[in-house]
Amino acid sequence: MEANRLLLDHKYGEAVVKGEVEEGARVEGRVYVEEGALIKGGSVVRGPAYIGRETVIGPNTYVGPYTSVGEGCRLTNVEVENSVIMDNVTVEDLGERIVDSLIGANAKVTRGDRRPKGIRLIVGEHATIKW
């Protein structure tokens, strides 16, 4: 997590948006949005943050400071900050904020019957968690 913070602080000194930001979505601060990425309406991405190629954020999603989201991810109706989300991850409909977490490539985290107040995760590649 500390390496991610250092990278975001030193590599991305200004906002760069190569992808698409829909009406009703906001990108605030030092956010790098790669080509092919989409930030959907009702979403906020607050930097420093990195959004990878072909990633879809939203709708109704918050990506907070010090978060890196890899390529091909889908984050829907979720809040996340100070975390690293690797490539091809799906996180949807949790209703609680994910903080200080590392989610491995190709993992899927979705809402189940249990309703925790907060989530801190270290998830390996190709895992599926129904919370």
At residue 114, the pLDDT reads 61
Q: For 8, phi and psi rounded to 5 degrees?
A: -65, -40
Q: How many residues does the chain have?
A: 131
Both structure tokens of 131: 């919370």
Q: Is the pTM of this model over 0.85?
A: yes
At residue 53, the pLDDT reads 98
Coil, strand or helix at 6: helix
Q: What is the DSSP string of 34-78?
A: -TT-EE-TT-EEESSEEE-TT-EE-SS-EE-SSEEE-TT-EEES-
2-130 folds as UDP N-Acetylglucosamine Acyltransferase; domain 1 (2.160.10)
* Domain range list for the chain: 2-130
Whether the bond into 116 is cis, omega within 30 of 0: no
At residue 119, the pLDDT reads 67
At residue 116, the pLDDT reads 53
Q: Distance (Å, rounded) from C-alpha 129 to C-alpha 51?
A: 22
pLDDT tens digits in sequence order for the chain, 131 residues long: 889 899 899 888 889 999 999 999 999 999 999 999 999 999 999 999 999 999 999 999 999 999 999 999 999 999 999 999 999 999 999 877 999 999 999 999 988 766 555 667 778 888 887 76
